[in-house]
Structure 1
Amino acid sequence: MSKLDQKLQPVRAGVQSPTPPIAQIAKPTYGALPATGYVREAKLIGEEILPFSRAQLWKMVKAGKFPAPVKFSPQVTAWKVELVREWLDARGVQQ
């Protein structure tokens, strides 16, 4: 062990990781989702139903890791609620 490591050892012992373990991170819930129908991106991300950003949502859609949305018009895109609930259920998200 180097001299620097010896000096920093007591300091490092008291430092906790800035990120809590996964088990301590609160899982999102999806009680805000309607029972059926369609939901827009703003509701999924804005109400924190999904635990990731808008950019990550679209990356996952493109990779086939999240259900694809339905395009109703050039300006309107929404996800089928039932598919979003199935996706959340498969990952153990609480209702």
Structure 2
Amino acid sequence: MRLSQILKLIPVSKATWWNGCKTGQFPKPYKLGPRITAWKTSDIYQCLQQFQLSRENKSG
């Protein structure tokens, strides 16, 4: 899954996403080529579930 697809699902900025990848908050990326970075779809959906749970806990 590419970054543009991820940011449609998880409402954060590019900078926030990359910082989260560096700190371990978000899944690690995989380099597919010199200018191509992607993430495993399963990792992103797991991250999305955690993101939704944390939002529910904050609001409820």
Structure 1: gaps spanning 5 or more residues: 1-38
Q: Distance in 2 between matches of 1:91 and 1:44?
A: 12
What amino acid is the match of 2:20?
Answer: M
The number of residues matched between the two structures is 53
2:48 maps to 1:88: yes
1:16-95 equivalence runs, <5 A: 39-45=1-7, 48-92=8-52
Q: CA RMSD in A?
A: 1.3
Aligned structure 1 segments of 4 or more residues deviating by more than 6 angstroms? none
Q: TM-score, normalised by structure 2?
A: 0.78
Q: TM-score, normalised by structure 1?
A: 0.51
Q: Distance in 2 between matches of 1:83 and 1:92?
A: 14
Structure 2: gaps spanning 5 or more residues: 54-60
Q: Deviations over 1:37-91 (max 9, x none)?
A: xx1011112xx21110001000000111000011011111001000010111123
Over the matched positions of the two proteins, sequence identity in percent amounts to 32
